[in-house]
Amino acid sequence: MEPTAQSQTVAPAGLRARPAIACRRITKRFPGVVANDRVDFEALEGEVHALLGENGAGKSTLSNIFTGLYRADEGELEVNGTPVAFDTPRDGIEAGIGMVHQHFRLVEPFTVAENVMLGDTSDLGRSFRLHPRAIEERVAELGERYGMAVDPRARIWQLSVGEQQRVEILKALYREARILILDEPTAVLTPQEATDLFGTLRAMADDGRTVIFISHKLHEVMAVSDRVTVLRDGRSVATVDTSASTRESLAALMVGRELNTYARPDDGREIGELLLEVDGLTAAGDRGTDAVHDVTLSVHAGEILGIAGVSGNGQRELAEAVTGLRPLTGGQIRVAGKAVHAGDPRAAIKAGVAHVPEDRLHTGVAPSLSISSNVVLKSYREDENSVGPFLRFRHIRDWAVELIRRYDVKAPGPSASARQLSGGNLQKVVLAREFSGHPRVLVIAAPTRGLDVGAIETVHAHLRDAAAAGVAILLISEDLDELMTLSDRIAVMYEGRIVGEVAAAHAVVEEIGLMMAGGGER
Partner 1 sequence: MSIRIERRLSQPRWLSVAVPVCSLVVAFLLIAIVLLATGHDPLETYKDLFEAAFTAEGALSQTLVGATPLLFTGLAAAAAFRMNLFNIGGEGQLYFGAIGSSAAGLLLAGQSAPVLIAAMMIAGIATGAAWALIPGFLRAYLSTNEIITSLMLNYVAGLFLTYLIFDSSSYWRDTTSPSAAVFPVGKELPDAASWPTFGSSIVVPFGFLVGIVAAIGLWALYSRTRFGFEVQVMSDSPRAARYSGMRTRRKILAVMGLSGGLAGLGGASQVGDFLHTLDADPNGLRAYGYGYTGIVVAALARYNPFAVVLVAFLIGGLQNAGISLQGPDFPSGLVGVMQGMILFTTLGGELFVRYRVRIGRSHRGARPAEAAAEATR
Interacting residues toward partner 1 by CB under 8 A:
28, 30-33, 35, 55-56, 58, 60-61, 64, 68-71, 86-89, 103, 323-325, 344-346, 348-349, 355, 357, 359, 362-369, 373, 377-378, 380-381, 386, 389-391, 393, 419-423
Query: What single letter denotes the amino acid at residue 48?
Result: V
Packing angle, helices 509-516 and 191-206, rounded to 10? 80
CA distance 439 to 431: 11
Nearest to partner 1 of 142, 371 (CB atom) = 371
List, as one string, the DSSP characters of 68-133: TSS--SEEEEEETTEEE--SSHHHHHHTTEEEE-SS----TTSBHHHHHHTT--SHHHHSSS--HH
DSSP state at residue 378: T
Phi-psi region of 308 (alpha: psi -120 to 50; beta: other; left: phi over 0): beta
- CA 434 to chain centroid: 21
Nearest to partner 1 of 286, 501 (CB atom) = 286
Nearest to partner 1 of 41, 70 (CB atom) = 70
Nearest to partner 1 of 99, 475 (CB atom) = 99
**CB-based contact 451:459 (threshold 8 Å):** yes
Nearest distance in Å: CB 187, partner 1: 15
81-85 long-range contacts, CB within 8 A, separation 24+:
81/18, 81/19
What are the residues whose beta carbons fall under 8 Å from the beta carbon of 116, sequence distance 6 or more?
135, 138, 139, 152, 167, 170, 171, 174
Nearest distance in Å: CB 420, partner 1: 6
Sign (positive/negative) of CA torsion 137, 138, 144, 148?
negative
Nearest to partner 1 of 30, 262 (CB atom) = 30
Nearest distance in Å: CB 413, partner 1: 15
Nearest to partner 1 of 57, 466 (CB atom) = 57
Nearest to partner 1 of 121, 296 (CB atom) = 121
Nearest distance in Å: CB 160, partner 1: 16
Among 43, 41, 50, 46, CA closest to 13: 46
Nearest distance in Å: CB 38, partner 1: 16
What are the residues whose beta carbons fall under 8 Å from the beta carbon of 433, sequence distance 6 or more?
374, 375, 376, 377, 378, 379, 403
Nearest distance in Å: CB 511, partner 1: 35
Nearest distance in Å: CB 493, partner 1: 22
Nearest to partner 1 of 1, 403 (CB atom) = 403
Element (H, E) at 414: none
Nearest to partner 1 of 61, 315 (CB atom) = 61
Phi-psi region of 487 (alpha: psi -120 to 50; beta: other; left: phi over 0): beta
Nearest to partner 1 of 306, 324 (CB atom) = 324
Cross-strand partners of 443: 355, 474
Nearest to partner 1 of 431, 514 (CB atom) = 431
Nearest distance in Å: CB 407, partner 1: 17
Nearest distance in Å: CB 130, partner 1: 25
CA distance 327 to 369: 28
Nearest distance in Å: CB 183, partner 1: 10
CA distance 298 to 305: 8
Packing angle, helices 453-468 and 423-436, rounded to 10? 10
Nearest distance in Å: CB 86, partner 1: 8
